[in-house]
Amino acid sequence: MKARLASMRWGRRRTLVAIGLLAIPLAGVLVFRIMPAIASFALSFTEWNLIAPPEFVGLSNFEELVGDPTFWQALWNTIYYVGGAVPGIVGVSLALALILNRGIRGIKIFRTVYFLPVVSSMVAVGIMWRWMFNAQYGLVNAGLGFLGIEPINWLGSQTWAMPALIVVTVWREIGFYMIIFLAALQGVPRHLVEAARLDGAGPWQRFWGVTFPMISPVTFFVSIMAMINTFQAFEYMYVMTEGGPRDSTLTLVYYLYLQGFEYFRTGYASAIALVLFTIILVITIVQWKIGERRVVY
Amino acid sequence: MSSTETSTGDTPAHEPSPHAPQGAGSQRHLVQPLRVAADGVHHASGAERVAGMEPPPQARVSHMQRHLGWMGKPLYYATLIFGAAMMVVPFLWMFSTSLKVESDVFQFPPEWLPDPARPENYPDALTIAPFARYLANSAFVTITDTVFSLTVCAMAGYAFARFHFRFRNTIFIAVLATMMVPVHVELIPQFILMRGLGWIDTFQALIVPSIFWPFGIFLLRQFFMTVPKELEDAARMDGAGHLRILFGLMVPLSLPAMAALGIFKFMFTWNSLIAPLIFLTSREKFTVTLGLATFQGQYETQWALLMAATVVALVPIITVFLIGQRYFIQGVALSGLKR
């Protein structure tokens, strides 16, 4: 009896303690994450220059968006950028991880070197590469000249600016994803690969038949993660090209930034934010749906 | 991430085998915390299940080497060294440029060794823009954010892991759902909120929203759930209160996760551009990323000076990385287990 009473008191106290522990974190998440998310949605139906009171305008922001060629350009640019960067990141980092997983000496040194760009800020990396890509005196063109290729005006050309930004992105991110792949590869049981080898499978077959299916969930996860991150590209464009030349590197987030914080068109920028959110939501849902199926092998 | 089960227990392939292949010596520190992480719902991996059949590691290594042969190896090393050169060359080139006389920068083909060297570019850059101040600002913002964030995430993670209360799962899922909303989507409302709070051009604007970190709460909850209940009961018998249990028992037992989260937070906050860009207005409050971006705006084509400034901005974070790289790499490996 006494024990039960004590445990009841303990239970009630526990609830109080839980409330105490959660009060600050939940209030913070509510005020700084959940409310802004909802507000962003609501704002997209208004027009507000941050000075005069906001005005409800229904769907007119979205109507304007549909007829805005710059928006479509930004959307296309973003898709182009993601489409170039994600396969690059996944392919190169997986290849590097596969090699490093082969009992390479000095693995620590390689890991450190490949990881250096990951800790460097995108701003610093962007500035560094703006110099690398300099049309007249940059090292990239010097290297290409060595191979007999004419200098390219990388960041000044509508054709080459985006590929240059993709190269920088891949360059900075591969170290990060390589580590994830390396951790996954260590989970592939050696004896399975060995068994396949004894059955006469060549290296290529061993990779596609054994190793790849074992790490496919991680590959999938990495692709999604890279996709969600690259869809929000902003820093390189801000530092290296300012969205140019002629909007050829203008991305959705950059356009959102321009509309929201340069032209103070809060409602219109929120409509762009909603488009961005929808795209990322769709990617996440696809991840769940396919992820559930692919995880079982 | 609809529920925690799908979040942690999804795949044994995430889980490195304890019998790591030949690189094991250098890799072990990577493996150990990962296994702890996966413990939420621990599946025995293939290698573990057949552990009894595995030859001793020593024998296996030589066995492996015999069959791998030596044919592919030079090619592997060549690829890795080429890749490593690609990684390092931009940094070296930046450093080389930072020591040049401005007119020597424009030489084609480029020269690697600055002649004459001009180390004065560094004091010049540091006096033109207050980079020491920028670095101090970044350090303050980043360290404060990291410390508070870890504390808040630990508190919430503990409550979700160990307490039963009404609507617990609903609340937890609501917190998880915010993980899906990209920060860029929330920029404008956050700006309006900061303006309402009078926080524009303050460090709070950078620190406070960033403290509340759904991913951190989620990851620590997963870790805390793996701490055996008996340990907690024993601590309680000894008269420990909840805060003692949380900070004296749960947190120390979850150090790999804490370290990983801390490092992620540190990297993100230190390198973040967009938040300082929209919240800060006065130069003496700038963080180093914003300071550097602004500096570039003014000295766009003074490459030697600009490269010196970039080196200054990079040295602290690279130093931190080189000292704590073990934890950086563990942290990243751990993030592969996020879902």
Please name every residue paired with A47 in a beta bridge, in sequence order, or none if there are none.
A55
Pick B163's closest partner by Cβ from A18, A40, A120. A18
C-beta atoms of B306 and A127 within 8 A: yes
Of A271-280, B33-42, B132-141, B236-245, the poorest mean pLDDT is in B33-42
Q: Based on the fold, state whether residues B245 and B312 are members of the same structural domain.
A: yes
The domain of B54 spans: 4-68
C-beta atoms of B293 and A215 within 8 A: no
Contacts of A50 in chain B (CB under 8 A): 192, 195
Q: Based on the fold, state whether residues B161 and B300 are members of the same structural domain.
A: yes
Q: Based on the fold, state whether residues B219 and B147 are members of the same structural domain.
A: yes
Mean pLDDT, residues B8-19 taken together:
33
Other CB atoms within 10 Å distance of the CB of residue B5: 10
C-beta atoms of B184 and A276 within 8 A: yes
HSE of B148 in the Cβ direction (CA atoms, 13 Å)? 18
What does the pLDDT look like over A213-234, one tens digit per residue? 888 888 888 888 899 889 988 9
Mean pLDDT, residues A74-90 taken together:
95
Q: How many domains does chain B have?
A: 3
Q: Quick check: is B48 in a domain?
A: yes
Q: How far is CA A121 from CA A59, A235, B268, in A?
A: 38, 9, 9
A191-205, A247-261, A283-297, B53-67: which is most confident: A247-261
C-beta atoms of B89 and A139 within 8 A: yes
What does the pLDDT look like over B240-272, one tens digit per residue? 788 888 888 888 888 888 888 888 898 889 999
Q: Which amino acid is at A71?
A: F
Of A160-174, B28-42, B324-338, the poorest mean pLDDT is in B28-42
C-beta atoms of B13 and A214 within 8 A: yes
Mean pLDDT, residues B90-118 taken together:
85
C-beta atoms of A119 and B328 within 8 A: yes
ipTM of predicted complex = 0.87
Q: Based on the fold, state whether residues B276 and B242 are members of the same structural domain.
A: yes
Q: Which two tokens stand for residue B331?
A: 């942290």
The shortest C-alpha distance from B281 to chain A (Å) reads 13
What does the pLDDT look like over A177-201, one tens digit per residue? 999 898 888 877 878 888 888 887 7
The shortest C-alpha distance from B248 to chain A (Å) reads 16
Better pLDDT: B282 or B44: B282
CB contact at 8 A, B182 and A228: yes
Other CB atoms within 10 Å distance of the CB of residue A181: 25
Of A70-79, B208-217, B233-242, B275-284, the poorest mean pLDDT is in B233-242
HSE of A239 in the Cβ direction (CA atoms, 13 Å)? 31
The shortest C-alpha distance from B21 to chain A (Å) reads 7
Pick B108's closest partner by Cβ from A109, A137, A281. A137
Pick B13's closest partner by Cβ from A184, A270, A292. A184
C-alpha to C-alpha distance for A190 and A81, rounded to whole angstroms: 37
C-alpha to C-alpha distance for B327 and A163, rounded to whole angstroms: 33
Of A95-99, A103-107, B64-68, B148-152, the poorest mean pLDDT is in B64-68
DSSP one-letter code for B256: H
C-alpha to C-alpha distance for A234 and B65, rounded to whole angstroms: 46
For residue B300, give the CATH number of its domain: 1.10.3720.10
Which of B185, B192, B199, B294 has the highest number of chain A CBs within 10 A, making it the mutation to test binding with A?
Answer: B185
CB contact at 8 A, B313 and A124: yes
The shortest C-alpha distance from B147 to chain A (Å) reads 14
Q: Quick check: is B84 in a domain?
A: yes
Share of residues in chain B with pLDDT > 70 (%): 77
Q: Containing H/E element for A168? A: helix A161-185
Q: Quick check: is B291 in a domain?
A: yes
Q: Quick check: is B123 in a domain?
A: no
C-alpha to C-alpha distance for B2 and B84, rounded to whole angstroms: 40
